[in-house]
Structure 1
Amino acid sequence: MRDFALAPSAVTSLGGGLADSVFETAELRPTLPVLARRPDPASPVWEEVTAVELRDQVSDLARGLVASGISPGHRVAVMARTRYEWTVLSYALWAVGAEVVPVYPTSSRDQVEHILRDAGCVAVVVEDEQGVMTVGSVCATLPQLRHVWQLDAGALAQLVERGALIPPTTVDSLRRIVLPDATAVIAYTSGTSGRAMGCALSHRALASPCDTLLAGWGHTAAPPGEQASVLAFLPFSHVYGLMIQGLCIRGGILMGHEPELGEAALVSALRSFRPTYFYAVPSVFEKIYKNFLRTAQQSGRGALFERAAGTARDFAEALERQRTGRGSGPGFDLRLQHALYERTVYRRLRAALGGRVVRATSGGSPLSRELSLFYEGIGIYVHDGYGLTETAGGITMQPLGAEKSGTVGKALPGTVIEVADDGEILVHGPSVFQGYVGDEAATRAALHGGWLATGDIGHLDAEGYLTITGRKKDVIITSGGKSVAPAPLEQRLRAHPLVHQAVVVGDNRPCVGALITLDPEFLTHWRAALALPGDAPGREAREENALREEIGRAVAAANSAVSRSESIRVFRVLPEPFDVASGLLTPSMKLRRDAIVRHYAFEIDAMYQARSRPGRRSAASDPAADWDDSDNVFR
């Protein structure tokens, strides 16, 4: 092993189950607002739910679950978007010792059947009639399944009514026998390759990172004297969303729910809820930045925005040098310029997130250093987090006052990270999962004496900061034997406003290539701004040439940070984005690389064949020598 980093000791260990925090907060701070809900999805008004009200709702629902035969150890699937009922239901299930099995509501029939059978679920809660139909189509193959409850048909109210005769003391008795090491969640991996596997996560594993983050960083989630608030919109079906829910419930952070992931719905919810802390995946932060740029350009202030963005990055970088002991901080001119843009630009940008956000977290995949610096420069520090389903969420954090953009910080207290000789990241700590359900061979392959082999590759610097460079299985090996990690190149490509998604390919090919999709909104704006004269056929040809040149510049910018043998020599722009419905993205918005390569096999072959040039080369020559940096193909 090398690059060893030792974390300090952990916080006090969990004493019971996850549901205890609901009851303890109600006892200690009964009037504290803990959840917020809207009477109507389109309403700008949020009604607060106090700790004692949440406890009563959880207890009443738990009694209904007991009356329906749900017992400790039973597994109940929840197949719904991120909504208020998800939180009440999950804590009610934990209160009676049941195990929650999250299922993405967009999952296919085969995926639903696999998860329900693999986990041995006795009940499933769905959101709407579509969910009922999906589950109904596989019920015949699931003899253990006893109940299908539909949220939109009033299932929770019916359960509460059914449990009216069950005494509250029954729930208290069941809750008190839940042990910290009992399984709380069977979380299925996103399945970027192969069939999803169920990760058994204990109450202790789910609580540990939450309690550690709250103890060390909880005070940074809101301005001094204010209650922190978070808008939950990413799926609770993913461990990232579950971790956010746990942080809010365990830390007394006010949480609102937004089930719609569309841009308009999210913008509206942010402006009305006005959170103090924001969390998302990199694509959301990238989209917000591009929207800022597009809006500025449409109003004729594009140059002003770009100057302000550059100043923000310079200012944040100077602050970083100061806090890491490598500089004296922003100079007088930079501070003056930053103050000017604060009054004219930055505060307006923060208003798009509600105007109260002080810090944020990005997770799911690496966030670019440039984007992190931009957000810090406008007044919102974005921590790039790292964690896996198998670690119940985050396992690193930026040290306060010593944050370093471009890294995911250091190991959380109580967690130890090592990097193996081949670059694979290994993790040991209280949040590591119990194993894969029904798959001992896979569990043995992942766990070695309590150490989790993450499958991610990266490195630790001399101070213990971790940088993620990609997934071990995603590394591309060209026909010339060059190993290339695709994630950094893809990240740099997405930095261009026109690029929506990018997948780097090149296994057993003479050079690295890329499949690119375009951001439809920015493309429309770009075309309108181009405003080429002339007749339609000629204008369209010139527009395509201009677009080709612009994407070529994006590729050149990505290539500027790598060697020639690692650079993208060919690319193809695809007519439509990768999405979940086509099976090319996971529900957590990760690329299904194998599926994408299979789906676009013809286009990939054509991309390479179109630019290949026969010729003689010596055995010692570069296998990619006949491939120009400017090679590109539009579909």
Structure 2
Amino acid sequence: MDEVRSKLCHVRHAVLIESGGPPPDDVLTFQQFLQLGDPFPSRLVGAAIERVRLEDLATVMYTSGTTQQPKGIKFSHLNIVSKRFARAIALPEIGEDDTFLCYLPLFHTFGRYFEMLGAIFWGATYVFMESPKIDTMVANMKLAKPTVFISIPKKWIQLYEKIAENVDIEMASEAALRRAVARVTGGRLRWGLSAAGYLDPEIFRFFQMTGVELMSGFGMTEATGGITMTPPGEYRDNSVGKALPGIEVRLAEDGEMMIRGPYVMVGYLHAKNSGIVDGWFRTGDIFTCDKDGFYEIVDRKKEIYKNIRGETISPQKIENLFSDFESVKRVFLVGDHRAYNTVLLYPNYDYDQVNFTKMTREEMRDFFGSLIVSVNQFLASYERIVNFEIIDRDFSAERGELTQKGTFKRKAVEENFRELIEAMYRKRYTIFRLGRFEVRVPNWFLREHGLTIENLKLAGNALVIPALHKRLRLRLTQQPETVIQIGELCYTADQGFIDLGEIVQHPVFWLGNLELEEFVGSALLRDAGSPPRKSRGVRVKLPPRAACPNLKAVREFRRLRKADKPDLRGLHLAAHLFVTCNTKNLQHTLDFFEKVLAHKDERVGRLGRIVLKRTQFAPNIERRRIAFHLLVRHERSERFKEVLDGFAKTRSLFTRRLIQEISELNLSRQQLQVIFAALRHHLNSDSPPGESERALVFSLLELLTAYGVRHPTAFKSIRAEMVRWTFDRRDEKIRKRAEAAFNKLRTGFRRWLGPNQQIAVSVETGTEYGWPDVLNFEDNL
């Protein structure tokens, strides 16, 4: 008593309700307490009762202060009395034969109103535990044999686990489970309520199956406790039930629950604003409601936040998913207006399956990283956790981080752990080094796959995700320049690093790389337009050895190639198959490229040209020739220079067959000028040509000769080019080849002209024409 008096200095009397012995001198017995009223006239008692109105203030109770400072809530007599009748209507079978086993403190609405005043209203027995610890709770259940137990989810979880110690929950019969529940709970438990947090539906179903009507509910101090509750026998997974009798509930446009009724508070103490507008009080909680009137909570409106892309995230929903892991004592989600979510995690050092004190930091990160991967599987990509930090102390009420209920004061937590939180957001990517070269994996890639940094590893010549059994080739090769193979394609970068995030967002980098697609997922291959300036130093090449054709791609391509409108998916598969498929399937790929290059969508056509241009590095030289021929037909502008410069580096590119096929085409003026310019580059060079340059000059002279013989409009300009080379005295072999080409050009042209020596060229348009253009046939001749 001395200790209590020192803390409650305004207390004048202490009353002992029941005791086995005499009370201390300064403590009244209950009989002495009643006798204090004897001198007071009964008529004055009656008058005092008559003065009290239902709307008068009866008591003040304080909120827990989850999101701000605690508020004093004013309750009228009507609030308290109406709530008791509402609960009685909702639970008509509870009565004087029931026993409440309680541990919730009397500053908790359920503890004060549902349990204590409820027991008085029903005439039931009220038993208060000396400690909320699970062993004490079980001992009290066996002693008091309660019929009603009301708790936060944690106690129901502990009770479930205690029962599981006595029986195999998965294998035992229903009768055996009922006996196990009866042994632990005292044998009379038939009513239960779980509220103020998330409880797995599996636990609800277990207790209901074993004879305990465990209900779900939602409430708040401002509503004198409960607002919704599962009607007995009507539990629905993840629902907090229907509105209790005596209260109106509706959802605002944003989903916020609004309430009105006789047991909604009068207002806040010492506050100008009562919080009630037109009779309605906004709860600050977001809900959904199904067609039958069952509500499901989303989160606190003030706690729900949006990431930097404007996507809405409920931290409580994500934090609740960790409740299944005994190894986690507490977890706190961070991500408000940030690119991705992270968590602060405090281990449960009492967990007997793992000794965390003997683990290294890396081992602990691997352990908890695997748990986060499991949680991420149940989340949308934008909700997933990318990084985490294991904190060295638990969150505490003394530091202002927790309310008396144990819920987070989020602003205080974020302020107290600010340095740790900011460290998790400093780097936007994870770096993997191959020699001096870097491969950067962006954090959003981890988020999309539900991974953390620990889940991505470099093993030999591959980037691996053990949890997903995924592997991506990463191999550094030293050629004339540093080249890194990523999947099926090779990349060079002027800046010394490759950003995997940039690669997967721009088709110029990922088209044809099916191994990359399998690693990152097809949903991540995007078309974000042209690459940004910082990525323009990245170039794509084909590896020295072609991969084997992907059989799934072959089957899918057979379906897509028949479409009239080629798309990126088809081009992606065609890019892979063009360099990997056998001759049998090659024609289908070529037909598809013909559609792509001729398509009116300039972007698709441009990407098709880019894919074909990269085949200048193909290991199969015949595929290079096919690609070159396709590009000659369709790249008719000044960009043909890039094509010729790239492919001309290939020795033996120009065969007689290829020259023949190109000479039969109608080259544009720009294409001819590009060929002339390539020859003049070698002609004007100060140094004598090498063997490869000489071979290229020979091939181009032969190509021009064949083309000039077939196309009289080009004869004059080609002849002039030949004459230049016949006067070149630097290289005798080239000069003689030029003279032979010139003679062949002149002879062939004369043979084409025939006896009349007239060129078949339209005077009006300057274009060539043949016999079908000038002969007319009369049907009746």
The offset of 1:437, in angstroms, is 1.3
Structure 2: any 5+ residue segments left out of the alignment?
17-23, 433-440, 455-781
The offset of 1:448, in angstroms, is 1.2
Find the counterpart in structure 2 of residue 474 from structure 1. Answer: 303
Secondary structure of the residue aligned to 2:424 is helix
Cα distance between partner residues in 1 of 2:374 and 2:263? 39
Given candidates 424, 436, 442, the residue that maps to 1:607 is 424
1:477-526: CA deviations, max 9, x gaps? Answer: 223322201111111111222222222111122211122233343x1x21
1:525-558: CA deviations, max 9, x gaps? Answer: 2127x9xxxxxx9x744xx666544433432332
Secondary structure of the residue aligned to 1:218 is coil
Given candidates 262, 275, 279, the residue that maps to 2:133 is 262
Secondary structure of the residue aligned to 1:247 is helix
Cα distance between partner residues in 2 of 1:371 and 1:608? 37
Find the counterpart in structure 1 of residue 153 from structure 2. Answer: 282
Given candidates 179, 195, 198, the residue that maps to 1:347 is 179
Find the counterpart in structure 2 of residue 595 from structure 1. Answer: 412
Cα distance between partner residues in 2 of 1:189 and 1:420? 23
Secondary structure of the residue aligned to 1:413 is coil
The offset of 1:362, in angstroms, is 1.2
Secondary structure of the residue aligned to 1:624 is helix
Find the counterpart in structure 1 of residue 353 from structure 2. Answer: 526
Given candidates 116, 120, 123, the residue that maps to 1:252 is 123
Secondary structure of the residue aligned to 1:361 is strand
Cα distance between partner residues in 2 of 1:451 and 1:186? 20
Given candidates 45, 57, 74, the residue that maps to 1:200 is 74
Q: Is the 8 A contact 1:240 1:363 kept in 2?
A: no
Cα distance between partner residues in 1 of 2:417 and 2:322? 19
Given candidates 190, 193, 196, the residue that maps to 1:358 is 190
Cα distance between partner residues in 2 of 1:353 and 1:545? 42
Q: Give the direction of change, closer, same or farther, for the CA distance of 1:350–1:503 in structure 2 (3 Å limit).
A: farther
Cα distance between partner residues in 2 of 1:254 and 1:433? 28
Cα distance between partner residues in 2 of 1:429 and 1:608? 46
Find the counterpart in structure 1 of residue 452 from structure 2. Answer: 631
Structure 2 residue identity aligned to 1:430 = P
Find the counterpart in structure 2 of residue 243 from structure 1. Answer: 113
Q: Is the 8 A contact 1:185 1:201 kept in 2?
A: yes
Q: Is the 8 A contact 1:492 1:557 kept in 2?
A: no
Find the counterpart in structure 2 of residue 383 from structure 1. Answer: 215
Q: Give the direction of change, closer, same or farther, for the CA distance of 1:201–1:156 in structure 2 (3 Å limit).
A: farther
Q: Is the 8 A contact 2:90 2:245 kept in 1?
A: no
User: Alignment RMSD, CA only?
Assistant: 3.2
Q: Give the direction of change, closer, same or farther, for the CA distance of 1:626–1:567 in structure 2 (3 Å limit).
A: closer
Find the counterpart in structure 1 of residue 336 from structure 2. Answer: 507
Cα distance between partner residues in 2 of 1:188 and 1:391? 12
Find the counterpart in structure 2 of residue 314 from structure 1. Answer: none
Q: Give the direction of change, closer, same or farther, for the CA distance of 1:291–1:609 in structure 2 (3 Å limit).
A: farther
Find the counterpart in structure 1 of residue 102 from structure 2. Answer: 232
1:312-351: CA deviations, max 9, x gaps? Answer: xxxxxxxxxxxxxxxxxxxxxxxxxxxx523434421343
The offset of 1:235, in angstroms, is 0.9
Q: Looking at CA atoms only, which structure, 1 or 2, has the larger radius of gyration?
A: 2
**Percentage identity across paired residues of the two chains:** 24
Cα distance between partner residues in 1 of 2:198 and 2:82? 23
Structure 1: any 5+ residue segments left out of the alignment?
1-127, 137-145, 309-339, 531-536, 616-620
Q: Which has the higher contact order (CA 8 A, sep 6+)?
A: 1
Secondary structure of the residue aligned to 1:351 is helix
Q: Is the 8 A contact 1:366 1:384 kept in 2?
A: no
The offset of 1:630, in angstroms, is 3.3
Structure 2 residue identity aligned to 1:201 = F
The offset of 1:281, in angstroms, is 0.8
Q: Give the direction of change, closer, same or farther, for the CA distance of 1:502–1:415 in structure 2 (3 Å limit).
A: same
Find the counterpart in structure 1 of residue 291 from structure 2. Answer: 462
The offset of 1:371, in angstroms, is 2.9
Pairing 1:182–2:56 present: yes
* 1:184-583 correspondence to structure 2 within 5 Å: 184-219=58-93, 221=94, 227-244=97-114, 245-293=116-164, 295=165, 304-305=168-169, 307-308=170-171, 340-441=172-273, 443=274, 446-521=275-350, 523=351, 525-527=352-354, 540-541=359-360, 547-583=364-400
Q: Give the direction of change, closer, same or farther, for the CA distance of 1:394–1:604 in structure 2 (3 Å limit).
A: same
Q: Give the direction of change, closer, same or farther, for the CA distance of 1:262–1:567 in structure 2 (3 Å limit).
A: same
Find the counterpart in structure 1 of residue 632 from structure 2. Answer: none
The offset of 1:612, in angstroms, is 4.6
Q: Give the direction of change, closer, same or farther, for the CA distance of 1:574–1:610 in structure 2 (3 Å limit).
A: farther
Cα distance between partner residues in 2 of 1:527 and 1:151? 49
The offset of 1:611, in angstroms, is 7.5
1:286-320: CA deviations, max 9, x gaps? Answer: 33334445x46xxxx7xx34x25xxxxxxxxxxxx
Structure 1 residue identity aligned to 2:354 = R
Q: Give the direction of change, closer, same or farther, for the CA distance of 1:494–1:611 in structure 2 (3 Å limit).
A: farther
Q: Is the 8 A contact 2:213 2:232 kept in 1?
A: no
1:404-434: CA deviations, max 9, x gaps? Answer: 2311111122321111111111111111111
The offset of 1:450, in angstroms, is 0.5
1:126-177: CA deviations, max 9, x gaps? Answer: xx555544455xxxxxxxxx65556797555486565553356654543344
1:173-210: CA deviations, max 9, x gaps? Answer: 43344222222121111111322111111121122232
Secondary structure of the residue aligned to 1:382 is strand
Structure 1 residue identity aligned to 2:238 = G
1:569-600: CA deviations, max 9, x gaps? Answer: 22223344334344322222222222222222
Cα distance between partner residues in 2 of 1:581 and 1:565? 34
Q: Is the 8 A contact 1:207 1:246 kept in 2?
A: no
Cα distance between partner residues in 2 of 1:132 and 1:480? 56
Q: Is the 8 A contact 2:5 2:11 kept in 1?
A: no
Secondary structure of the residue aligned to 1:180 is coil
Secondary structure of the residue aligned to 1:526 is coil
The offset of 1:278, in angstroms, is 0.8
Q: Give the direction of change, closer, same or farther, for the CA distance of 1:353–1:170 in structure 2 (3 Å limit).
A: farther
The offset of 1:459, in angstroms, is 0.9
Cα distance between partner residues in 2 of 1:185 and 1:577? 35
Q: Is the 8 A contact 2:303 2:315 kept in 1?
A: yes
User: Normalised by the size of structure 2, how large is the TM-score?
Assistant: 0.51
Structure 1 residue identity aligned to 2:297 = I
Pairing 1:584–2:401 present: yes
Cα distance between partner residues in 2 of 1:574 and 1:229? 42
Q: Is the 8 A contact 2:248 2:259 kept in 1?
A: yes
